[in-house]
C-alpha cells in the first residue's frame, strides 16, 4: 500500500462542485504529478467517473472505453498523467510501462491505483470525493442514496473495543399480572426495524407539548432505556397506564390476552404515529407510519360463486395472521380431518379454498343471486414483519379449552407457496414444493411468545433473538441464554412438564423490496443480512 | 466472437451508459445481491483470505482472482434471470 500518497484539496472557488478546483497529488514511487496536470484529476473524477449531469453520460459513454481494444471492457482505468483510457486486462499496464505514468484511476469505483507498488491506494480524501460525486450522479438519475453497510468510524471503533461485552436483553419487571405485556414488549424491542427507527430518533410527536400522552414517545423512551446497557429491570408502569388510557378494554390488573394486547398496542401506536392515512378511506392501505410500513400486509380474499364461477376479490390489510388449530370443523374431505402439526400445515389450511356451505349463501355480483360459494385467502402483499397467532384457545359454545398440540415451526420460513400469485395458478397444493423459492419471501424467526398453563391461570414467556443467532428466554425479570433448539422445540424442553405450549410467533421478512419504504428503513433492513419473523402465541 | 457481435455488444453498452440505464441496473443488482446475502457471504470469504495471508501481503488483484469463481457461483439464478429480463425490457423499449 502506498503510504506516501497524499491528496490535498485546495478550496479556491466555492462555485465549483465539491471545491475540487485543484487536486495535488504527491507520490514518491510513482513520480510527482505535474501541477498543471492535477486539474485533470479533479475533472476526471467529476465528469468521467460520476457524471453529474445527464449530458455528461454521453461524454462518459464516448470516452470511458479502452482506447486499445475499443470495447466497453470492464474496469476501465484512466491515466492521471495524461489523457488515456484503457482496460485493466493489460492495456493500462502497457501504457504505464511505456510512459512511466504510474498513477491511474478506476473510472467505475474512483479508486486510485499505483502501478509502482501494484496495488490500489486508499486515501480518505479521494474516497470522500468519489462518494460525493457518486451520490450526486445517482441523484441526477433519480436513484436513492446507495446502501452502504455500516462501518464503524474511529470513535465508534474505540467504543466497541472498550466495551467488548455485548448486552443481554433488559428484563422487564411486571406489575400484577402483566407478563402478557412484558412478553410483547420484549418481542417489539427486538424487532430490528423498530429498533433502528427508535434508536435513530425518527419519531415526531404529534401531541404538542404533551408527549406524556403519546404511546410512541413512551416506546421510544423504552427503547433508549432498553439499549442503554442499564441492567436493572425496566418497570413498565407508564406504558401500562397509557395502554389503559388509550385501549380501555385492557384496563385492570387481570391477566390479559397477549395477542389482544399486541394488536391493541399496534393500533394505539399507529394512531399516535404521524403517518399519512389513506385519504379516500378505502381498504388499500397506504398509511406511511412506521407500524404500517413494518407490520401491514395485504390479504387477498377470493370468493368464487359455485353457479357462475364469478370471482369477487377483495384485499384487506392485516397485522397478523390467526391460524386455526385442531381438526377442521366444516370440511368433508378426508385430508382436512388431519390436525395440523406444523406452521406450514396451518398456513396451508389457511390459504386453502374453503366451501362456505349452504347456510352461508352470498349474493354473487355475476349472476345477481344468492349462491353457495368457496372462499380462498392468499397473501397479496407480505409485511416486513409477519406475525402469526396460533389460536390455542378454543371458544366454542360453552366450551373453552386450550389446544395443546405441538406445532413445529421453522427458523426460516418461505412464504412463497402462500402468495396470491402462486395459489391462484395452482389450486392443487401438492404442487407447492415444486416451485423455486423466491428470495423475497423468506423470513427468519426472531421472537416467540409462549403461554404456559391453562386457560384461566397461565403465564407468558418469550424467546427473543439478538444479533444473528443469540437467543434469550425472557421470563419477566429473568433473562436466560437459550439455543435455537430450545426455541424450536420449546414444548419438549420447557413446556411438557407444565403443560404449556407455543401460542404465538413472529417472523420478519427476509428481504424486503417494499414500495414506499424509505431508504433508511430498507438499508437498515438489508444490513441485517438475514431476516426476521416474530411469532406471537395466544 | 465475431466482429458483428462485438459491434453489437459495444453499441448496446453505449446505449446503456448514455441513458444512465447501466447505473440503474447496477444499482438493482447491488441491491439484490445484498438482500440475498451474497454480499455478506463473499465479504466473509474475502476477510478469511486476508486474515490468512496477512493484510500487507495481499493485493486487490490477488483477492479478485481468488474470490471471483466463488462469487460467480453464488449468484442466485433468480437474480440472473431478473437482470436479463431488465436488460431485454430496456432494449425492446429502445428499439421501438
**b/e burial code for range A180-205 (CB count within 10 A of at least 16 → b):** bbbbbbbbbbbbbbbbbbbeeeebeb
pLDDT exceeds cutoff 80 at A423: no
B94 and chain A: CB distance < 8 Å anywhere? no
Q: Could you report the per-residue pLDDT of A460-481, keeping only the tens digit for each?
A: 777 877 766 677 887 777 777 7
Least confidently predicted of A119-133, A245-259, A269-283, A393-407? A269-283
Distance from CA of B95 to the nearest CA of A (A): 18
| Contact with chain A for residue B7, Cβ under 8 A | no
CA distance A300 to A302: 6
Grid coordinates representing A480? 436466560
Range of weakest confidence among A80-94, A284-298, B28-42: A284-298
> What is the mean predicted confidence (pLDDT) over A257-262?
78
The three cell numbers locating residue A463: 424467546
On whether the CB atoms of residues A68 and A89 are closer than 8 A, the answer is no
Nearest CA distance, B31 vs chain A (angstrom): 8
Contacts of B39 in chain A (CB under 8 A): 149, 529
pLDDT at residue A536 above 60? no
- Give the residue among A365, A270, A527, A129 at the shortest CA–CA distance from B37: A527
Give the whole-angstrom CA distance, residue A357 versus residue A447: 38
- Model confidence pLDDT, tens digit, residues A308-330: 877 888 888 888 887 777 666 55
Q: State the average pLDDT over residues A207-219.
A: 77
pLDDT in tens, A270-281: 888 765 554 444
B62 at A interface, C-beta within 8 A? no
Give the mean pLDDT of A34-56. Answer: 46
Residue A179 annotated among the catalytic residues of the structure: yes
DSSP for residue A44: I
Dmax over CA atoms of chain A, in Å, equals: 93
What does the alpha-carbon distance between residue A537 and residue A325 come to, in Å, rounded to a whole number? 12
Q: For domain B3-95, is the CATH number 3.40.190.10?
A: no
For this structure, is A241 an active site residue?
no
Residue B80 confidence class, pLDDT cut points 50, 70, 90: very high
Residues facing residue A370 across a β-bridge: A363
CB contact B84 to A (< 8 Å): no
Q: Is there a contact between A71 and B6 if contact means CB atoms under 8 Å apart?
A: yes
**In DSSP terms, which residues pair with A221 in a beta bridge?**
none
Chain centroid offset of residue A252 CA:
35
- Residue-wise pLDDT tens digits, A441-450: 677 777 787 7
C-beta separation of A80 from A104 below 8 A: yes
**Secondary structure element (H or E) that encloses residue A413, with its range:** strand A412-414
What tens digit of pLDDT does each residue of A81-129 get? 666 778 888 888 888 888 877 777 777 777 778 777 777 877 666 677 6
Partners of B17 on chain A (C-beta within 8 Å) are 57, 60-61, 64, 72
Residue A411 CA to residue A401 CA, distance in Å, equals 28
Residue A167 backbone class (left: φ over 0; alpha: ψ -120 to 50; beta: rest)? beta
Give 3-state DSSP helix, strand, coil % of chain B, rounded to 5. Answer: 90, 0, 10
Domains, chain A, ordered by start? 6-140 (3.30.40.10), 181-272 (no CATH), 290-297+319-346+384-537 (no CATH)
Burial class (CB in 10 A: 0-12, 13-18, 19+), A337: exposed
Q: pLDDT band at B83, cuts 50/70/90?
A: very high
| CB distance A154 to A164 below 8 Å | no
Q: What is the DSSP string of A50-81?
A: S--SHHHHHHHHHHSS-TTT-S--SSEEEESS
Phi, psi values for residue A503, rounded to 5°:
-120, -30
Active-site residue (options: A2, A51, A114, A179): A179
Q: Taken in order A221, A226, A231, A234, is the CA torsion positive or negative?
A: positive
Q: Tell me the β-bridge partners of A373.
A: A305
pLDDT of residue A166: 61
Amino acid at each position: 500500500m502506498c503510504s506516501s500518497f497524499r491528496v490535498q484539496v485546495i478550496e479556491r472557488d466555492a462555485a465549483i462542485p465539491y471545491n475540487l478546483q485543484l487536486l495535488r497529488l504527491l507520490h514518491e514511487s510513482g513520480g510527482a504529478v505535474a501541477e498543471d496536470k492535477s486539474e485533470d484529476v479533479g475533472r476526471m473524477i467529476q465528469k468521467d467517473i460520476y457524471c453529474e449531469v445527464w449530458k455528461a453520460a454521453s461524454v462518459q459513454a464516448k470516452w470511458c472505453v479502452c482506447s486499445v481494444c475499443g470495447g466497453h471492457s470492464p474496469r476501465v482505468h484512466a491515466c492521471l498523467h495524461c489523457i488515456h483510457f484503457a482496460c485493466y486486462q493489460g492495456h493500462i499496464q502497457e501504457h504505464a510501462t511505456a510512459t512511466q505514468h504510474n498513477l491511474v484511476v478506476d473510472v467505475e469505483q474512483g479508486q486510485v491505483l499505483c502501478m509502482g507498488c501494484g496495488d490500489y491506494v486508499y486515501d480518505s480524501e479521494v474516497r470522500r470525493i468519489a462518494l460525493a460525486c457518486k451520490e450526486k450522479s445517482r441523484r441526477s438519475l433519480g436513484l436513492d442514496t446507495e446502501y452502504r453497510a455500516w462501518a464503524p468510524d474511529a470513535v465508534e471503533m474505540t467504543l466497541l473495543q472498550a466495551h467488548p461485552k455485548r448486552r443481554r436483553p433488559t428484563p422487564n419487571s411486571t406489575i400484577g399480572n402483566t407478563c402478557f405485556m412484558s412478553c410483547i414488549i420484549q418481542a417489539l424491542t427486538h424487532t430490528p426495524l423498530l429498533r433502528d427507527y427508535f434508536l435513530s430518533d425518527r419519531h415526531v410527536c404529534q401531541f404538542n407539548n404533551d408527549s406524556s400522552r403519546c404511546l410512541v414517545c413512551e416506546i421510544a423512551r423504552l427503547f433508549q432505556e432498553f439499549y442503554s446497557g442499564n441492567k436493572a429491570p425496566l418497570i413498565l408502569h407508564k406504558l401500562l397506564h397509557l395502554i389503559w388510557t388509550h385501549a380501555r378494554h385492557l384496563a385492570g390488573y387481570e391477566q390479559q390476552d397477549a395477542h389482544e394486547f399486541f394488536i391493541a398496542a399496534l393500533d394505539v401506536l399507529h394512531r399516535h404515529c404521524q403517518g399519512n392515512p389513506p385519504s379516500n378511506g378505502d381498504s388499500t392501505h397506504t398509511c406511511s407510519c412506521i407500524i404500517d410500513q413494518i407490520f401491514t400486509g395485504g390479504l387477498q380474499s377470493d370468493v368464487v360463486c359455485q353457479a357462475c364461477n364469478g370471482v369477487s376479490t377483495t384485499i384487506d390489510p392485516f397485522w397478523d395472521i390467526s391460524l386455526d388449530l385442531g381438526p377442521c370443523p366444516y370440511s368433508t374431505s378426508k385430508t382436512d380431518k388431519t390436525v395440523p402439526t406444523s406452521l406450514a400445515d396451518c398456513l396451508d389450511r389457511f390459504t386453502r379454498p374453503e366451501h362456505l356451505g349452504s347456510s352461508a349463501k352470498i349474493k354473487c355480483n355475476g349472476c345477481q343471486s344468492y349462491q353457495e360459494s368457496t372462499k380462498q385467502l392468499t397473501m397479496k402483499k407480505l409485511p416486513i414483519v409477519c406475525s402469526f397467532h396460533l389460536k390455542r384457545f378454543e371458544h366454542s359454545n360453552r366450551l373453552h379449552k386450550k389446544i395443546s398440540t405441538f406445532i413445529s415451526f421453522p427458523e426460516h420460513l418461505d412464504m412463497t407457496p402462500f402468495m396470491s400469485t402462486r395459489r391462484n395458478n395452482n389450486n392443487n397444493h401438492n404442487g407447492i414444493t415444486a416451485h423455486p423459492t423466491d428470495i423475497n419471501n423468506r423470513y427468519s424467526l426472531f421472537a416467540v411468545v409462549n403461554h404456559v398453563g391453562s386457560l384461566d391461570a397461565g403465564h407468558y414467556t418469550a424467546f427473543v433473538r439478538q444479533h444473528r443467532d443469540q437467543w434469550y428466554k425472557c421470563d419477566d425479570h429473568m433473562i436466560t441464554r437459550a439455543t435455537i433448539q430450545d426455541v424450536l422445540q420449546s414444548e419438549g424442553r420447557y413446556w411438557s412438564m407444565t403443560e404449556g405450549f407455543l401460542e404465538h410467533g413472529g417472523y420478519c421478512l427476509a428481504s424486503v423490496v417494499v414500495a414506499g419504504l424509505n431508504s433508511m428503513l430498507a438499508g437498515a433492513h438489508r444490513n441485517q443480512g438475514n431476516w426476521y419473523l416474530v411469532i406471537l402465541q395466544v | 466472437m465475431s466482429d458483428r457481435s462485438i459491434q453489437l455488444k459495444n453499441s448496446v453498452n453505449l446505449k446503456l451508459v448514455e441513458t444512465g440505464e447501466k447505473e440503474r441496473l447496477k444499482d438493482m443488482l447491488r441491491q439484490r445481491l445484498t438482500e440475498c446475502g451474497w454480499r455478506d457471504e463473499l465479504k466473509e470469504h474475502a476477510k478469511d483470505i486476508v486474515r490468512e495471508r496477512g493484510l500487507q501481503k495481499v493485493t486487490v488483484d490477488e483477492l479478485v482472482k481468488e474470490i471471483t469463481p466463488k462469487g460467480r457461483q453464488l449468484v442466485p439464478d433468480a437474480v440472473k434471470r431478473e437482470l436479463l429480463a431488465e436488460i431485454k425490457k430496456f432494449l425492446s423499449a429502445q428499439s421501438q
